[in-house]
Chains A and B, each alone.
Chain A
Amino acid sequence: EDQVTQSPEALRLQEGESSSLNCSYTVSGLRGLFWYRQDPGKGPEFLFTLYSAGEEKEKERLKATLTKKESFLHITAPKPEDSATYLCAVPSGGSNYKLTFGKGTLLTVNP
């Protein structure tokens, strides 16, 4: 069974304190790994797609990396506005239409 596990469940950082979020997956034939950001009361918002091991994508203070078993979302010098839940997802069940989401990491950045 395809699975996506995110850790930690929650992370509290001080402004400027860099850290990483983890997304480990077990899926046959990875067809992409997606990262989304979700603010309270809102729908998820797309951040990155990674397709192959070794690939990296960056956006402002965020950098996503991919290995054969996991992906990391690195947050450099975070600001309070980076506080959100970060979700990762992979296509599963042999279908590009069926995304399996992890349960997310709730990131809180204190000023």
Chain B
Amino acid sequence: NAGVTQTPKFQVLKTGQSMTLQCAQDMNHNSMYWYRQDPGMGLRLIYYSASEGTTDKGEVPNGYNVSRLNKREFSLRLESAAPSQTSVYFCASSDVGGARLFFGEGSRLTVL
């Protein structure tokens, strides 16, 4: 009963390095999301994928790219990491838009 699995759980990068956060769900959900959570800012949507083959920008997409690899997997890529991208990143999934979200445990990223 894994639900939503994110890797890695922790990562430290230097400014300018690139990396990809991986997310997989085993609930056969159609929609997947990437959020970031910062102190005092709450959860903010970066990108979402309403269904396999589609992706759309959320509230804070700059500096990020996403790939919906298949129905199960949705990755988030930082091409050139900046200190402002230091955050905790959460992947989530839902059956349809407007339905309850199931979140992963988070990936804590530090950019030096």
Contacts and interface: CB of A to CB of B under 8 A. Distances in A.
Contacts of A98: 45, 48, 58-59
Contacts of B45: 98-99
Interface residues of B, number: 26
A87 B42 CA distance: 9
B42 A102 contact: yes
- Which secondary structure dominates where chain A touches chain B? loop
Nearest to B41: A103
Nearest to B101: A46
B97 interface: yes
A57 to B, nearest CB: 12
B103 A43 contact: yes
Contacts, number: 57
Contacts of A104: 42
Interface in A76-110: 87, 89, 91, 95-104
Interface in B90-107: 90, 92, 96-98, 100-106
B98 A31 contact: yes
Q: Which of the listed residues A41, A44, A87 has the most CB atoms from chain B within 10 Å of its own CB?
A: A44
B31 interface: yes
Nearest to B104: A43
Contacts of A91: 97-98
Interface of A: 31-32, 34, 36, 41-46, 49, 87, 89, 91, 95-104
Interface of B: 4, 31, 33, 40-45, 48, 50, 56, 58-59, 90, 92, 96-98, 100-106
Pairs of residues from A and B, 10 with the lowest C-beta to C-beta distance, nearest first: A43-B103, A96-B98, A96-B97, A101-B43, A103-B42, A97-B97, A46-B100, A101-B42, A97-B48, A44-B103
